[in-house]
Amino acid sequence: MPADGGGYRGNDDSDELNAYRFYSSMIVLGLGLFGFLISACSNGNIPGFDYVSIGLFFISCFFYASVFNNSGRTAALKGLRKGSCSGAIWKGESPYFRVGNYQTWYDTRATQYCISFYEKNFGSENAEKVKETMDRTPKIIWMNQKIWAAGGIACFVSSFFFYELVIPFFENSVMTDEAFNFVDNAVFYLPSVLALLFSVTGFILIKVRDNLLYKCASRIVNDNIAAEERMKTESIIASKLSKKWYYNRCPNCGAEASKALRSCTHCGASLEVMSFEDGISGAIHRISSAEEDQ
Ligand SMILES: [Zn+2]
């Protein structure tokens, strides 16, 4: 997406809207299911569920909700993996201790950042650096976060038959009552515990991501500031250098002049090139350094 006047997000609006829709429908779905399960549990019994496992699923919904609530901020990473660099990734809205420009910055007091890939001077370089960070760190961190929700939904669905399917294997095996009791519970709660683990994993990975991206942002910003300084210095030097050029051969007597000389040792004529226009084609000139000038 192109940079749109002043907005430092430049992110695909539809992406954000989709994330929002998904997020709210998840909540509605979760609450509906929760209500249904609670009432069904109190009426009779649904195979594979009790209040504890429903509670675990419910808690995991909160983690999933947080994961989806945050997914819009880093949606631009998806494009980065496919080789296109558009949009921006960010965390935080109004940083107080911002370093950098309004498109790419990091906050020195909090882990807030914004990295733009549409920036005029450094956009594609920024994208390259973020991609490097992604390549250097474990892939699991950058996986599509819908995977964790898909895992949770799979666990939830499997709850309906998992226990009935698995427990017969243990019923026929020889073990003490305590051991069987343990296995019985473990099998019963496994899907809900896994769902919770998936959701917590997704939740933690968001934090890990943000930490990595924050460090990446601070590196990018400092690099870009240094690069800008360098460009400024270079243009100052260039403007100084371009002021004075000297002949390597005296235009007056034709004597060879060494590099450091500004006037001819033979005739004393100045070696300075006053104008490039009149008849110096073929004449070799050189640059005086900025330090020599002072
Ligand atoms: Zn001379």
Nearest one of 52, 13, 14, 67 to 192, comparing CA atoms: 52
Question: What is the predicted pLDDT for the residue at 278?
Answer: 54
Residues around ligand 1, an ion, CB closer than 5 A = 250, 252-253, 255, 264, 266-267, 269
SS3 of residue 258 by DSSP: coil
How does pLDDT run across 23-72, given as a tens digit for each residue?
788 778 878 877 877 777 776 667 778 888 888 998 998 898 888 888 88
SS3 of residue 272 by DSSP: strand
CA 275 to ligand 1 centroid distance, Å:
18
The model's confidence at residue 22, banded by pLDDT at 50, 70 and 90, is confident
Question: What is the predicted pLDDT for the residue at 2?
Answer: 38
What span, in angstroms and rounded, lies between the C-alpha atoms of 114 and 126?
11
Does 7 score more than 60 pLDDT? no
Does 282 score more than 80 pLDDT? no
What span, in angstroms and rounded, lies between the C-alpha atoms of 214 and 97?
14
Q: By mean pLDDT, which of 70-79, 142-151, 176-185, 266-275 is the weakest?
A: 266-275
What secondary structure letter does DSSP report for 249?
B
Does 279 score more than 70 pLDDT? no
What span, in angstroms and rounded, lies between the C-alpha atoms of 168 and 173?
9
Question: What is the predicted pLDDT for the residue at 10?
Answer: 44
Does 6 score more than 50 pLDDT? no
The predicted model gives 270-280 an average pLDDT of 67
What span, in angstroms and rounded, lies between the C-alpha atoms of 94 and 105?
11
- For the stretch 151-159, contacts whose Cβ atoms lie closer than 8 Å and that sit 24 or more positions apart, written own/partner, are 151/194, 151/195, 151/198, 152/57, 152/60, 152/64, 152/195, 152/198, 152/199, 155/191, 155/192, 155/194, 155/195, 155/198, 156/57, 156/191, 156/195, 158/191, 159/48, 159/49, 159/53, 159/57, 159/191, 159/192
Helix 13-43, helix 51-71: angle, nearest 10: 170
Question: What is the predicted pLDDT for the residue at 249?
Answer: 80
CA 257 to ligand 1 centroid distance, Å:
8
What span, in angstroms and rounded, lies between the C-alpha atoms of 158 and 164?
10
CA 256 to ligand 1 centroid distance, Å:
8
CA 261 to ligand 1 centroid distance, Å:
11
How does pLDDT run across 76-101, given as a tens digit for each residue?
998 888 877 789 999 987 677 889 98
Highest mean pLDDT: which of 8-12, 119-123, 243-247? 119-123
Question: What is the predicted pLDDT for the residue at 24?
Answer: 80
Query: Taking the mean position of all CA atoms in its chain, how far away is CA 192?
Result: 32
Entry pTM: 0.69
Question: What is the predicted pLDDT for the residue at 214?
Answer: 96
Structure-token match 């243990």, residue found: 170
Q: How crowded is the C-beta side of 105, counted as CA atoms within 13 Å? A: 20
What span, in angstroms and rounded, lies between the C-alpha atoms of 61 and 23?
11
